[in-house]
Chain A
Amino acid sequence: QKEVEQDPGPLSVPEGAIVSLNCTYSNSAFQYFMWYRQYSRKGPELLMYTYSSGNKEDGRFTAQVDKSSKYISLFIRDSQPSDSATYLCAMSSNTGNQFYFGTGTSLTVIP
């Protein structure tokens, strides 16, 4: 079983829709949770990060962590064509120096 599972999509939504991206994980030691956006042929860009459980909001983006279910989500409100990209979730723990990534979900927002 992979440490982090992420549906690869692709996901296609109309402009203005609410997008929900999700990851599940198996290691209960994970404490830090990150979401990255990666445009084609570019390096991943850190969007948001959270510690432990709860919600964090930044503009149109909301990150949610449910440690009891080992489930994290990224919500994008009022999606824009510029949100079209691959979204990667990542997580880490207090021990070790590694980060564990999902395989990414490809999102297309149609004008």
Chain B
Amino acid sequence: SQTIHQWPATLVQPVGSPLSLECTVEGTSNPNLYWYRQAAGRGLQLLFYSVGIGQISSEVPQNLSASRPQDRQFILSSKKLLLSDSGFYLCAWSPGGVNQETQYFGPGTRLLVL
């Protein structure tokens, strides 16, 4: 069966510090990978998605970036965090290919920027 991991679970960072969140998927090959941010009481905002190694699509201009160094690894980064970067970050995967039937989420990382 497939499993998706995210770490860390919780992170408190000062404004201006760098960020690195990691997501890995087990039990599948060539998945599509996604990063979302969920603000309190609001919906999911798609930040980045990737259909393959080194292929990243950005949905929202911001000071965040994403990388996919391996097939089942997706990393969200920032060089300098802003207060507005606080939120709940979710990684997700879906089977690669045309038919996007389902998407599966990781446990999330709660980020607080002070």
Contacts and interface: CB of A to CB of B under 8 A. Distances in A.
Interface of A: 8, 32, 34, 36, 41-46, 49, 51, 88, 90, 92-99, 101-104
A64 B57 CA distance: 32
A19 B40 CA distance: 24
Nearest to B91: A43
B27 to A, nearest CB: 15
A34 B102 contact: yes
Contacts, number: 60
A49 B49 CA distance: 21
Contacts of B94: 97, 99
Contact of A88 (B44, B104, B110): B44
A104 B102 contact: no
B106 interface: yes
Contact of A43 (B57, B102, B106): B106
A90 B100 CA distance: 11
Contact of B104 (A46, A92, A102): A46
Nearest to B106: A43
Interface in B95-114: 98-108, 110
Given A97-B32, A98-B49, A90 B103 contact: yes
B107 A42 contact: yes
B49 to A, nearest CB: 6
Contacts of B51: 97
